[in-house]
A and B are shown apart, each in its own frame.
Chain A
Amino acid sequence: MDNSQKRILMAKTGLDGHWRGPTIVARALRDAGFEVIMIGMASTDDIVRAAVDEDVDLVGLNIGGHINVALRAVNSVQEARPGLPLFAGGTVPPHAMKQLQALGVEVFPPGSQLAAIVESAERLTHRSS
């Protein structure tokens, strides 16, 4: 699949400094041809601004902290750019995973296969075009 025209924003909602997950995922997405815009540790405002300014096709959130912080980011992105898909990963415990899924966010907890993440990115970015 040609992913070269698709742009994915990657952001980390927390200030906790765990980079393993987002680094590996960003590389896998780039290897699959996507353009990945990594903005690192970002507040909700930063994420929304980048999602709008960079005209991305998908937003990926790395979540290391409380689910409310992530939910705020999700809600704000969905408000600013209705229909823009989001997916998320990180140490997302079961109760938080359900809350994200209820908002239509695909969630990849630790142990997820990179192939599944890439497949999700392809499905989410190509569905509307």
Chain B
Amino acid sequence: MGTKPVLSSSEIELKAYYTAEDIPEPHRSRVNLPPGEAPYHRGFHSSGYRTKPWRIFQLSGFGKPEDENERIKFLLKNGETGFIMEHDRNTADHCYNVDHPDVVSRREDVGLTGAVMQSVRDIDICLDGLPMDTSFAHAGGAVVQHAPFALAGYWTVAKRRGFDLRKLAGTGQSDFNLTYLGCVTKQQIPTDAGLRFNADIIEFCTENLPRWVPVSVAGYNGADSGLTPDQELGSLFANTVEYLDEIKRRNKIPLEVAAKGCGGVSFRSSIHIFEEAAKMRAARLMWSDLLRERYDITEPKTANLRIHCVTAGSKMTYQQPLNNIVRGTVMALTAVLGGVQSLGVSGYDEALSIPSEHAHQMSVRIQQILQEETNICAVTDPLGGSYYIETLTAQLVEKAWQFFEDIMQEGGYLACLDSGWLHAKAAENQHKEFMAMESGEQNIVGVTFAEDDESPYEVDGFMGTDDAFDVATARLNELRRTRHETGAKAALKNLESVCRSESNIMPAMLAALDAEVTLGEIGDVYREVFGDWNTPIQT
């Protein structure tokens, strides 16, 4: 056979088979540890999915708030076990109202990537009849500057419905990878202001919402932008360290509690089964080691890394889209073999549009079949002890710490975003991946291989509803006419002075949402106070 080495996505050279001797120390001596013991690569609970299956958690939303509400109800009825609110990216990511010129010029795009929610009234409609008190919810706010608004909106609605914030369970996101690396927006607050927002949210949740994951670092958004699995791991922890160091510097809340909050993260589950499953194991091990070595935290509950996983959207093909049901299943299985706590499966129409109702249902069904029919929930860490998996786990940990160190050498994670160092890494990998496909080194079924059989697979893109922009415009005008203007203006003014101070932004944000201040008004304050991030790529 040829002499060309076979490499994993992280460029780890793979052997044709493995034996016990391949597992490097010190990992070899950990192989016999049971799940539930530090460093937790085998999972945090010995009973695993027997006592708590993973959460079925799908990204969802489009159109008007009521359209999104209907889709979330559809998913819950079909067996989703938590819910995610997507806000329209045109407006939300940029903190614009729909009458901003950049939005008006793209009016048909509005609502295609989430419901338009410009005030607490819209968020209230989106949440109509949803079980906020008993569900684990993702309130939106994926992008950093939007998160305080989205969270405050969700919490304001909850308070108005009489729910105790201390009992509310859910997650924020405010992900730096998404905001400053993967999905760079046209306008965004600079990274140092973003760090301040996230630290504010962590402090606020620690004091007021103990069951809420304040921010969720998403390796997914680094990985689907091109970072390899080891880089995904290394950058995720380099990012987390920025938050924890800032919390430590502020010294307002116990670091252990903040660390527990930061331990809700997300990863991408891609198509290389064993490396991706090993990645989840590596992540738990690294978190436990990081807390102990850098912060002297060994408390088991804090070291419990909770992983949400999303299957790789970029692996879903435009051609022969029903093949993506198989890809989604394989990537979901991979995540589950890695022992994740929560999972979203990309729609089979991912490369064409946001998910249709049917694609969404399939994403839930894939997970239900795994949970109900395959007996996969019976045994914790089923890959544990495999010579191959244990070796890969150890190798990934080593490579990921190397990447973490590289980031530190470059001045830290934020500095690597500001300078474009991470963007260059991601772009280089993307290019390599593309060239491998182009050269035939990596076949993609239905695209570069077995590509001629298209006729039975026709699927068109789901385009949502066509009245999102008009309805949002009418509602914005109505809000301006009917809200208590003096109260709104006072709340906005207060928010601005808090933004200019070092005080926590969240109490003022909650007051602003309660006073029916709009997203665009808040965005204008940000632009005035913080200015715009100097993006290292052309946006």
Contacts and interface: CB of A to CB of B under 8 A. Distances in A.
B318 A111 contact: yes
B352 A18 contact: no
B431 to A, nearest CB: 6
B183 A96 contact: no
Contact of B112 (A20, A40, A45, A66): A66
A20 B458 CA distance: 25
29 contacts: A15-B90, A15-B93, A15-B103, A15-B185, A17-B89, A18-B183, A19-B225, A20-B224, A20-B225, A27-B431, A38-B538, A41-B539, A43-B101, A43-B102, A43-B105, A45-B105, A68-B108, A69-B105, A91-B318, A93-B460, A94-B352, A94-B458, A110-B317, A110-B351, A111-B444, A111-B448, A114-B434, A114-B438, A115-B438
A14 interface: yes
A80 interface: no
Interface residues of A, number: 34
B351 A111 contact: yes
Contact of B93 (A17, A19, A67): A17
B430 A109 contact: no
B125 interface: no
B186 interface: yes
A69 to B, nearest CB: 5
A110 B318 contact: yes
Contacts of B113: 16, 65
A24 B430 CA distance: 7
Contacts of A94: 352, 458, 460-461
Given A40-B186, A41-B186, A69 B108 contact: yes
Contacts of B224: 20
Contacts of B94: 15
Contacts of B539: 40-41
Interface in A45-86: 45, 65-69
B106 A95 contact: no
B427 interface: yes
A91 B461 contact: yes
The DSSP consensus for interface residues of chain B is loop
B538 A15 contact: no
Interface string B175-197: 00000001111100000000000
A94 B454 CA distance: 12
A65 B108 contact: yes
A50 to B, nearest CB: 12
A13 B106 contact: yes
Q: For chain B, which range describes its interface: under 10, 10 to 19, 20 to 34, or 35 or more residues? A: 35 or more
B105 A44 contact: yes
A41 B106 CA distance: 11
B109 interface: yes
A101 interface: no
A99 interface: no
A103 interface: no
Interface string A94-129: 111000000000000111011100000000000000
Nearest to A27: B431
Interface in B433-474: 434, 438, 444, 447-448, 458, 460-461, 463
A66 B463 contact: yes
B235 interface: no
A67 B538 CA distance: 23
5 closest cross-chain pairs (CB), A and B = A93-B461, A17-B183, A65-B109, A66-B108, A43-B105
B240 interface: no
B458 A16 contact: no
B97 interface: no
Contacts of B537: 19, 23
B362 to A, nearest CB: 17
Contacts of B103: 15
A92 to B, nearest CB: 8
Contacts of B101: 43
A123 to B, nearest CB: 19
B402 interface: no
A2 B102 CA distance: 37
Given A16-B113, A19-B184, A43-B105, 16 more contacts: A15-B93, A15-B185, A19-B537, A20-B224, A20-B430, A24-B431, A39-B538, A41-B539, A65-B108, A66-B109, A67-B108, A68-B108, A69-B105, A91-B353, A111-B319, A113-B448
B314 interface: yes
Interface string B103-125: 10111110011000000000000
A24 B437 CA distance: 13
B109 A40 contact: no
